[in-house]
Structure 1
Amino acid sequence: MGIIFLDEIDKIAGREGKSGADVSREGVQRDLLPIVEGATVNTKIGPVKTDHILFIAAGAFHMTKPSDLIPELQGRFPIRVELEKLSREDFEKILTAPRSSLTRQYEALLLTDGIQLEFSSDGIREIARIAYDMNEKHENIGARRLNTILERLLEEVSFEGPDLTQKKVKIDGKYVTDRLQDVIQNKDLSQYIL
């Protein structure tokens, strides 16, 4: 018994009216089918029967639909749940609530260079707002947007960290808008930031 989670299953779904790469996508789906249906799979540790394993699949399905999967595979995932897009408040929680949140990871990383980062609540709100707005204006990639925004926001501190004279950096709303102004205003740049 066990559970296997198949993430990004949308990547193997065929696109309507397309060929070429879709042939290999369908091949991957057909190879996956017996495993999901229940088969014995040989692994490094020996044969594993998948009869009593629960398979859960997830995907964004921005460019494809669940119905673009082959019908046999669709039948093996009969329950579909559509999740709501992330709100600004969700982004704020993602940045602060987890014990290993992105903000805490950056604080720990930069502390190795002697830089003490401090994220203020208005800084967190501004980061969340920008991430939300970018997802609204461009492809909605969910919380992954936060990672690239933080990279861009902290690139100067990250690369010049050991040489900085000011060892305490406060990330407030003004700091965020100043550092990300080109991303916020320039549509050409903003479509390339993840």
Structure 2
Amino acid sequence: MIRELVDSAISIVRENERNRIEEKARKRTNERLLDLLLPPPGYQTGESMPNFPVPWNLNPGSEFDTGQVAADSTDTATDAPTPSPDDSYQRTRDKMRQMLIAGELDDRVVSLTIEQKTMPVMFGGAGLEQMDMDFQGMIEKIMPKNSSTRELPVSRARQVVFEQECEELLDSDKLNSQAVELAENVGIIFLDEIDKVIASESKTADVSRQGVQRDLLPIVEGTTVQTKYGYVRTDHILFIAAGAFHKHRPSELMPELQGRFPIRVELSALTKDDFVRILTEPKNSLTRQYKALLDTEGVSLGFTEDGIDQLATYAFQINQSTQNIGARRLYTILERVVEELSFEAPDMKMGNVSINSNYVRDRLGAVADDEDLSKFIL
């Protein structure tokens, strides 16, 4: 749990840092692409720069021929001093930079060196997941890197070079320390179905369930966990546990573990208004998901206010009359409502369907009224 928490913190810190250095990485990407398209004058194979092929824009008499630029300048102003090769190269480079930013050179092909890590073969087995040392990370450091040269258009090479520049600008040690600090001070771990570790009447299951409680106790109480990013202390991590407790009570947990969850909250059942909000407010609500799904078949799906209200009414009523499974009830109800439409959508082409209260009643009314049948279908 702690290692997964740190992995999540690494992703958050990495994304924030990447956004911060994105502009700098784009500038460096443009400069590297210019080096590929127009190597500096006097460059020879074997020097510190990569071994670039002869670029397309250095052909004699071409638009970017530095010698041509110098000749044109001397013809128009004979008294002016002859520009040095460095000045001519810089003017050509500035002009190409403008064309590169404008996307006029995206179709040009450049030779790019790409490094690929050799993936190690890992052997798993019982108990290996509990080993503290991160053998996979250690093996990745000693495995050789394979380099390959590929011919890519500038549009594709820009993406590859941008990723390389971002990796070079990111400080791994700094990211790791920030992620560990973030996990220690702001981390939250949710322990779901904590009631499942309470000892039952079966003696065979008591040993394992009591063992899980004993393993959870030091982590919740406060200990140090070794990860590949460093040591993480769990003293200030917020632990939230949840359970149904329909067969057991929280008091049946180990007294030491109970003491680490001093605040207890009993949740009330979802109301009809709660179901309406669940269907409308989230960005990835079920109604939006079904709209996007049927849109791939060329069908425009819409939900009216009275249709959503009717869906919420059925979800609330069935939860009250049968097993209360909360918001999960909406999955089965919506699936039942659009079941016929999902099969007919490919043949409808550019159809428009509006789901209102009458549409919902026609497909759910008979099933919802039969309590014995609704518990299996809805």
Task: Please give the TM-score of this superposition, normalised by the length of structure 2.
Answer: 0.47
- List alignment gaps of at least 5 residues for structure 2: 1-184
Deviation per residue, 1:57-112 (Å, 9 max, x gap): 22333343322322221111011112221111111111112222211121112111
Secondary structure of the corresponding residue to residue 86 of structure 1: coil
The CA deviation at 1:120 is: 1.1
Which residue of 211, 214, 222 maps to 1:30? 214
The answer on whether the counterparts of 2:279 and 2:308 sit within 8 Å (CA) in structure 1 is yes
The CA deviation at 1:7 is: 4.1
Structure 1 partner of 2:261: 77
State how far apart, in whole Å, the 1-side matches of 2:299 and 2:206 are. Answer: 49
Q: Does 1:42 align with 2:226?
A: yes
Which residue of 132, 139, 143 maps to 2:316? 132
The CA deviation at 1:130 is: 1.0
Deviation larger for 50-59 or 87-96: 50-59
Letter in 2 for 1:88: K
Deviation per residue, 1:47-66 (Å, 9 max, x gap): 32112212122233334332
Secondary structure of the corresponding residue to residue 262 of structure 2: coil
Deviation per residue, 1:147-188 (Å, 9 max, x gap): 221122222222332123672111111111211234313333
Structure 2 partner of 1:55: 239
Secondary structure of the corresponding residue to residue 192 of structure 1: helix
The answer on whether the counterparts of 1:13 and 1:66 sit within 8 Å (CA) in structure 2 is no
State how far apart, in whole Å, the 1-side matches of 2:219 and 2:336 are. Answer: 41
The answer on whether the counterparts of 2:195 and 2:250 sit within 8 Å (CA) in structure 1 is no
Structure 2 partner of 1:100: 284
Letter in 2 for 1:31: D
The answer on whether the counterparts of 2:299 and 2:349 sit within 8 Å (CA) in structure 1 is no
Structure 2 partner of 1:113: 297
Structure 2 partner of 1:145: 329
Secondary structure of the corresponding residue to residue 118 of structure 1: strand
Deviation larger for 11-20 or 66-75: 11-20
Structure of larger gyration radius: 2
Which residue of 314, 338, 346 maps to 1:154? 338
Structure 1 partner of 2:250: 66
State how far apart, in whole Å, the 1-side matches of 2:199 and 2:290 are. Answer: 39
The CA deviation at 1:122 is: 1.4
Secondary structure of the corresponding residue to residue 48 of structure 1: strand
The answer on whether the counterparts of 1:12 and 1:28 sit within 8 Å (CA) in structure 2 is no
Letter in 2 for 1:58: A
State how far apart, in whole Å, the 2-side matches of 1:182 and 1:19 are. Answer: 46
Deviation larger for 74-83 or 9-18: 9-18
> Structure 1's 116 and 64: CA in aligned 2 closer, same or farther, altered over 3 A?
farther
> Structure 1's 69 and 182: CA in aligned 2 closer, same or farther, altered over 3 A?
farther
> Structure 1's 72 and 159: CA in aligned 2 closer, same or farther, altered over 3 A?
farther
Deviation larger for 44-53 or 111-120: 44-53
Structure 2 partner of 1:192: 376
Which residue of 354, 364, 368 maps to 1:170? 354
> Structure 1's 60 and 167: CA in aligned 2 closer, same or farther, altered over 3 A?
farther
Q: Does 1:122 align with 2:122?
A: no
Deviation larger for 43-52 or 87-96: 43-52
Deviation larger for 114-123 or 180-189: 180-189
The answer on whether the counterparts of 2:304 and 2:355 sit within 8 Å (CA) in structure 1 is yes
Identity among equivalent positions (%) equals: 57
Secondary structure of the corresponding residue to residue 243 of structure 2: coil
State how far apart, in whole Å, the 2-side matches of 1:15 and 1:175 are. Answer: 48
- List alignment gaps of at least 5 residues for structure 1: none
Q: RCO greater where, 1 or 2, for CA within 8 Å and sep 6 or more?
A: 1
- The two structures, once aligned, show a CA RMSD in angstroms of 2.2
State how far apart, in whole Å, the 1-side matches of 2:246 and 2:228 are. Answer: 36
The answer on whether the counterparts of 1:115 and 1:161 sit within 8 Å (CA) in structure 2 is yes
Letter in 1 for 2:332: T
Letter in 1 for 2:259: G
State how far apart, in whole Å, the 2-side matches of 1:113 and 1:22 are. Answer: 52
